Structure 1
């Protein structure tokens, strides 16, 4: 993962509504109607947020009849978490050894 890619994930996750959507999906798969119960915005606004999350593969979508179902992409979220965790460590395993761009200072 590059710094640019990690930054893209963090920008998208930093939006409070998207962060709350991810939190809600951590409970399991939900449809748009289920998600809208928690927000004071319209269905088109929710669709926009879901498209942004899906485009960067933070969520997975599938059709169930006429409903669109959403769930977390745990693999991507775990990978993002690993790189965030590396930033917080003070040891030999610095983040720049794991992210492709730049050299570690000795």
Structure 2
């Protein structure tokens, strides 16, 4: 790698939290669409495994090369990662030939907040 060409580091995309706790008030139509897209993306077992692999990876981010062993082909992995990005669950950043994925802490916090139940 001594002769590797250095590429500029791109700013990672930003992800906005989705919505208030479901127990706080009725969601707006827009919040419901956003929240449903997130949960729909996670309803696929392969996507859930990929999301978990990224979220639990050391350093909070994972190269696609480190998480693609989920029992499906590389094009299918790319498809599922694209769906997770479209749902606002992952951000990505290209570094050379590899793409690194990250789950923004705000996304995990928003998902937890949406499902938080008051008064147990």
Length-normalised TM-score, structure 2: 0.66
2:114 to 70, 79, 83: 83
Contact 1:61/1:68 (CA < 8 Å) preserved in 2? yes
The 4+ residue runs of structure 1 with deviation greater than 2 A are 88-91
Instruction: Count residues with an aligned counterpart.
Output: 88
Q: Which has the higher contact order (CA 8 A, sep 6+)?
A: 2
> SS in structure 2 opposite 1:75?
helix
Q: Structure 1 residue 31 and structure 2 residue 63: aligned?
A: yes
Which residue in 1 is equivalent to 2:46? 17
> SS in structure 2 opposite 1:18?
helix
Give the C-alpha shift of residue 66 in structure 1. Answer: 0.8
Contact 2:92/2:100 (CA < 8 Å) preserved in 1? yes
Q: Which runs of 5+ in 2 are unaligned?
A: 1-18, 20-30
Contact 1:53/1:59 (CA < 8 Å) preserved in 2? yes
Greater Cα offset, 15-24 or 45-54: 15-24
Give the C-alpha shift of residue 77 in structure 1. Answer: 2.3
Which residue in 2 is equivalent to 1:57? 88
Contact 1:57/1:73 (CA < 8 Å) preserved in 2? no
CA distance in 2, matches of 1:30, 1:52: 17
Give the C-alpha shift of residue 47 in structure 1. Answer: 0.5
